[in-house]
């Protein structure tokens, strides 16, 4: 099979703009508000006017988008949302129950949408912002934002938790001072976050629905046919609880992308769930794998780290933009860990493919391909991975940067602070590279073979395959 054949095949199945079957839309319209009786209604305010980034009075939006895709214009706006939320029980792998109601909250969400409505592909992705770093971070946007913009997704980032909202208030009392997700201190955990996350999705007018007369149109005329929830790491764990305990009470989302976290997830509900994990993420989970099913799919990407180079670059560009600066040459931070940090294997490429599979799975019930797990040298906790002579893990989804290695890339590290999440990258010596790839063509051919196989297997999209090939063709490997 040629690269062109692979590209045509993958485009036909993955990059097609999916639309819900008519029957699903009819059922949705017939159920109306009755299907969403559990989550109390909320009021949306906005878009909230914002000063330019770097405003000394800090009346600008925190978490600005720093991703630029040539030729594609996206509009970014911020909204506030306020209402009351329920609290719920969270029994293991069972739908919870409302314990009490009436807890007031006010928070914010960020909308990113195509400026050209004809570019919209009908899918909205809603991200549960991660707060591990003591502030809101829309990490899945950092990973796949270029792809989402390229393919015409709409996107919303939600500030659902206390740590993130508290940081907003501290950063700008002028703009965010009245935000609160604790019912004025009465709720001391993040119990309100689930209804907040539901309320934001419910504030969106879907395809076939009518916008309420007094409600802002948060997507400015765009009408999604499906809404996908996503979250990374700590947020993935929150999504796991949401799926297991809350989703069944009020099925707001059509699918879930659980990235880099979470325990066992229920797959007995009629909703599609995709979990994509880096090598780092499987250290504590590989001993008790969750099998694929009709509603659950699990992928592991060999050689990737929980926090990687793209994460670091996007974080640097975003924080600079918040200060009113634009970085032309962003660099990762340099933490002091036991091994050189940050895998260079592009996890985001697999995540991009997973988003396209999830859309197709929701719209047409075409399941994603199954993926091999990373191989274990010891399968009981604490697990250890099987590795080749260079220290690279065996098994899993093997991108060209891993299968045609020029370095040891792992998801493993140690040291202070968050070193365990940073993975490692240790380039091979020149002598080793000469032995592996005696000519430039031998290296490029090896990369091309892996790329074509990954596209054929459904783990890599054509655009990302082309990026990988171009990088190989312009490298100095083999030019001895």
Give residue-wise pLDDT tens across range 402-450.
999 999 999 999 999 899 999 999 999 999 999 999 999 999 999 999 9
Between 32-46, 184-198, 268-282, the lowest mean confidence (pLDDT) is in: 32-46
| Residue-level pLDDT at 421 | 97
Inside any domain, residue 24: no
Tell me, yes or no, whether 5 and 43 share the same domain: no
192 and 312: one domain? no
- Based on the domain organization, do 157 and 202 belong to the same domain? yes
C-alpha to C-alpha distances, 424 to 90, 349, 468, 477, nearest whole angstrom: 37, 19, 20, 21
Does any domain span residue 178? yes
Stated as kind and residue range, the H or E segment containing 101 is: strand 98-114
Q: What is the pLDDT of residue 176?
A: 98
Question: Are residues 100 and 249 both part of a single domain?
Answer: yes
Beta strand pairing call for 123-128 and 74-88: unpaired
- How far apart CA 237 and CA 90 sit, in angstroms, is 13
Q: How many CB atoms neighbour CB 448 within 10 A? A: 18
The contacts found for 441-450 with CB under 8 angstroms, 24 or more apart, are 441/478, 442/478, 443/404, 443/472, 443/475, 443/477, 443/478, 444/469, 444/472, 444/473, 444/478, 446/400, 446/404, 447/400, 447/404, 447/472, 448/3, 448/472, 450/398, 450/399, 450/400, 450/403, 450/404
Q: Contacts by 84-87 with C-beta closer than 8 Å and gap 24+? A: 84/40, 85/39, 85/40, 85/191, 85/192, 85/194, 85/195, 85/196, 85/199, 86/38, 86/39, 86/40, 86/195, 87/187, 87/191, 87/192
Q: Are the CB atoms for 262 and 240 separated by under 8 Å?
A: yes
Asked if residue 219 belongs to a domain, the reply is yes
* 29 assigned to some structural domain: no
Residue 7 has pLDDT above 80, yes or no: no
Residue 382 burial by CB count (10 A; 0-12/13-18/19+): exposed, middle or buried? exposed
> Is 246 inside a domain boundary?
yes
d(CA 220, CA 452): 39
Q: Tell whether 329 and 244 lie within a shared domain.
A: no
Q: How far apart are CA 275 and CA 297, in angstroms?
A: 6
Give the whole-number percent of the chain exceeding pLDDT 90: 89
Residue 283 falls inside a structural domain: no
Q: How far apart are CA 361 and CA 13, in angstroms?
A: 10
**Is the whole-model pTM more than 0.75?**
yes
| H/E stretch holding 86 | strand 74-88
Asked whether 81 and 107 are in contact (CB, 8 A), the reply is yes
- Domain C-terminal end among 207, 242, 266: 266
- For the chain, the domain total comes to 2
pLDDT at 72 over 80: yes
Looking at the fold, whether 255 and 322 belong to one and the same domain comes out as: no
pLDDT of 10 reads 44
Residue 31 included in any domain: no
Q: Are residues 5 and 104 in the same domain?
A: no
Same domain membership, residue 51 and residue 9: no
Residues 202, 101 share a domain: yes
CATH number at residue 58: 3.40.50
Mean pLDDT of the chain: 92
CB count, 10 Å around CB of 267? 18
Q: Tens digit of pLDDT for each residue in 303-328?
A: 999 999 999 999 999 999 999 998 98
**Residue 459: CB atoms within 10 Å:** 23
Are 64 and 196 members of one domain?
Answer: yes
Res. 380 pLDDT band, cuts 50 70 90 = confident
480/361 same-domain check:
yes
**Domain interval for residue 155:** 38-266
Single out the residue in 214, 238, 266 at which a domain terminates.
266
Same domain, 322 and 418: yes
Domain boundary among 246, 266, 286: 266
* Radius of gyration, alpha carbons of the chain: 22
Residue 449: inside a domain: yes
> Residues 374-382: what's their mean pLDDT?
92
């Amino acid at each position: 099979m040629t690269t062109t054949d692979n590209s045509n095949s993958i485009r036909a199945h993955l990059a097609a703009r999916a639309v819900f079957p008519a029957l699903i839309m009819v059922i949705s319209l017939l159920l109306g508000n009755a299907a969403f009786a559990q989550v109390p209604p909320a009021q949306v305010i906005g878009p909230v006017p914002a000063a330019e980034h770097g405003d000394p009075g800090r009346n600008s939006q925190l978490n600005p988008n720093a991703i630029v895709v040539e030729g594609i214009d996206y509009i970014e706006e911020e909204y506030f949302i306020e209402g009351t939320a329920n609290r719920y029980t969270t029994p293991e792998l069972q739908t919870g129950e409302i314990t009490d109601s009436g807890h007031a909250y006010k928070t914010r969400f960020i909308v990113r949408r195509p400026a050209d409505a004809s570019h919209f592909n009908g899918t909205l992705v809603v991200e549960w912002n991660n707060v591990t770093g003591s502030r809101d971070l829309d990490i899945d946007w950092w990973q796949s934002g270029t792809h989402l913009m390229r393919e015409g997704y709409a996107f919303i980032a939600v500030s659902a938790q206390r740590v993130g909202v508290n940081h907003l208030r501290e950063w700008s009392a002028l703009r965010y001072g009245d935000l609160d997700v604790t019912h004025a201190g009465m709720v001391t955990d993040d119990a309100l976050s689930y209804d907040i996350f539901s309320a934001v999705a419910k504030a969106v007018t879907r395809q076939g629905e009518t916008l309420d007369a007094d409600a802002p149109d948060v997507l400015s005329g765009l009408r999604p046919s499906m809404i996908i929830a996503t979250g990374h790491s700590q947020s993935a764990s929150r999504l796991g609880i949401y799926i297991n305990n809350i989703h069944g009470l009020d099925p707001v989302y059509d699918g879930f992308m659980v990235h880099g976290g979470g325990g066992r997830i229920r797959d007995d509900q009629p909703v599609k769930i995709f979990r994509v994990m880096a090598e780092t993420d499987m250290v504590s989970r590989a001993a008790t794998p969750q099998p694929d099913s009709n509603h659950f799919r699990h992928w592991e990407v060999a050689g990737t780290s929980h926090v990687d180079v793209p994460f670091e670059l996007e974080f640097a560009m975003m924080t600079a933009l918040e200060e009113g600066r634009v970085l032309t040459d962003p660099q990762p931070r340099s933490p002091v860990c036991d091994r050189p940090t940050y895998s260079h294997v592009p996890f985001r490429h697999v995540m991009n493919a997973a988003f396209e599979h999830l859309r197709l799975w929701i719209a047409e019930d075409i399941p994603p391909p199954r993926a091999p797990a990373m191989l274990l040298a010891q399968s009981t906790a604490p697990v250890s991975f099987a590795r080749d002579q260079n220290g690279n893990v065996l098994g899993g989804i093997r991108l060209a940067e891993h299968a045609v290695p020029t370095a040891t890339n792992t998801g493993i590290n140690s040291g202070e602070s968050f070193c365990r999440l940073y993975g490692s990258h240790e380039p091979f010596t020149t002598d080793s590279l000469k032995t592996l790839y005696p000519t430039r063509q031998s290296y490029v051919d090896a990369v091309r073979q892996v790329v074509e196989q990954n596209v054929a297997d459904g783990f890599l999209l054509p655009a990302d395959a082309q990026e990988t090939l171009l990088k190989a063709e312009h490298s100095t490997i083999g030019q001895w």
